[in-house]
């Protein structure tokens, strides 16, 4: 059933002579994300020449800029495990405090993109990740990076120089996670930078898979270690045959490659058993372990969880 109060969101972008089509579309998409965040049938404008009120919520911008100036969001960790319950990696989850409650990255990241702060945000997050590799020499650590940053040459140079300062044994334990919808849209621009990070030993995962109906051709073209299913695809999957078929098709698309399919947002044993039957290699979610605040006082995390 369609929600008549939440059917359409419109993003508006002013065009100026000299702008290329791709940039205009990126700005229009950012405005659409902002409109969706506002709820209801909404619209928003993106244009850096317009006053602040035309670009979005002033409160959001203040909150995000304060978060950046204070060293970044609060960090949590959530393990992803194999079928046997062995920890494959721990994903760093981010939240910011708005004065009343914590806000998840799913809610505030569209605004980071809207305000053009993704590069600053991603640099900060990667800089925070690297010292953690020394704290936990047995852990693979995954962190989400925006494709918006990764396709920019300036960020690519910074990333290369930063990673080269790390020991190879540390680089091999970094997993960069990218959103599937953005990967499909920018595949040609991502290919060289993914080759670069792979050459340095860094691994790549693509998350939110199945959220949008995009081509899976990129699976054959990019060296991606993990394909992580969107939680919405996983929820009550034992009762949703169409989602089971979609998961199975994604697993089949990865056959013949080194890419493994992991589920996220797993909440019950019935979901997990159905996912295993459909060929999923591993999972992540409250069924295994909930998100926990990152604690550098913990010398060693458990390497096995009940499945």
Domain boundaries, the chain: 10-56, 70-293
Cβ neighbours for 233, distance < 8 A, ≥ 6 positions apart: 209, 210, 211, 243, 246, 247
Token pair for 174: 């970094």
Could you tell me what percent of the chain has a pLDDT over 70?
A: 87
Could you tell me what percent of the chain has a pLDDT over 90?
A: 65
Please, what is the average pLDDT of the chain? 88
Average pLDDT of the residues in 20-29: 73
pLDDT in tens, 102-111: 988 988 998 8
Q: Is the pLDDT of residue 186 over 70?
A: yes
Query: Topology of domain 70-293, per CATH?
Result: TIM Barrel (3.20.20)
pLDDT in tens, 81-99: 999 999 999 999 999 998 8
pLDDT in tens, 245-262: 999 999 999 999 999 999
pLDDT in tens, 140-151: 999 999 999 999
SS (H, E, C) the chain: CCCCCCCCCEEEECCCCCCCHHHHHHHHHHHHHHHHHHCCCCEEEECCCCCHHHHCCHHHHHHHHHHHHCCCCEEEEEEEEECCCEEEEEEEEEEEECCCCEEEHHHHHHHHHHCCCHHHHHHHHHHHHHHHHHHCCCCCEEEECCHHHHCCHHHHHHHHHHHHCCCHHHHCCEEEEEEHHHHHHCHHHHHHHHHHHHHCCCEEEEEEECCCCCCCCHHHHCCCCEEEECHHHHCCHHHCHHHHHHHHHHHHHHCCCCCEEEECCCCCHHHHHHHHHCCCCEEECCCCCCCEECCCCCCCCCCECCC
| C-alpha to C-alpha distances, 215 to 26, 156, 179, 180, nearest whole angstrom | 19, 25, 14, 10
Predicted TM-score (pTM) of this structure: 0.80
pLDDT in tens, 268-279: 999 999 999 999
Q: Looking at residue 55, what is its pLDDT?
A: 37
Average pLDDT of the residues in 61-87: 95
Q: Looking at residue 13, what is its pLDDT?
A: 79
Contact 173, 141 (CB under 8 A): yes
Confidence band of 36 (pLDDT split at 50, 70, 90): low
């Amino acid at each position: 059933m369609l929600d008549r109060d939440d059917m359409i969101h419109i993003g508006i972008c002013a065009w100026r002579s000299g702008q290329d089509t791709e940039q205009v579309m990126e700005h229009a998409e950012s405005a659409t994300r902002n409109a969706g965040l506002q709820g209801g049938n909404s619209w928003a404008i993106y244009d850096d020449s317009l006053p602040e009120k035309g670009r979005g919520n002033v409160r959001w911008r203040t909150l995000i800029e304060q978060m950046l100036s204070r060293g970044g969001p609060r960090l949590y960790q959530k393990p992803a495990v194999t079928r046997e319950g062995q920890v494959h990696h721990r994903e760093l989850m981010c939240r910011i405090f708005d004065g009343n409650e914590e806000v998840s990255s799913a809610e505030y990241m569209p605004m980071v993109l809207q305000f053009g702060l993704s590069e600053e945000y991603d640099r900060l997050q990667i800089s925070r990740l690297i010292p953690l590799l020394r704290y936990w020499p047995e852990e693979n650590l995954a962190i989400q990076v925006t494709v918006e940053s990764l396709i920019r040459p300036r960020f690519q140079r910074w990333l290369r120089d930063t990673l080269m300062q790390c020991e190879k044994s540390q680089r091999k334990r970094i997993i960069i996670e990218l959103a599937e919808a953005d990967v499909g849209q920018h595949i040609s621009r991502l290919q060289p930078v993914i080759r670069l990070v792979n050459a340095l030993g860094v691994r790549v995962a693509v998350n939110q898979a199945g959220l949008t109906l995009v081509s899976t051709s990129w699976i054959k073209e990019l060296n991606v270690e993990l394909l992580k299913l969107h939680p919405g695809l996983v929820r009550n999957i034992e009762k949703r045959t169409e989602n089971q078929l979609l998961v199975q098709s994604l697993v089949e698309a990865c056959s013949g490659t080194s890419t493994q399919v992991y589920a996220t947002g797993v909440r019950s044993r019935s979901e997990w058993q159905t996912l295993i039957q459909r060929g999923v290699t591993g999972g992540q979610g409250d069924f295994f372990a909930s998100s926990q605040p990152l604690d550098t006082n913990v010398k060693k995390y458990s390497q096995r969880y009940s499945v």
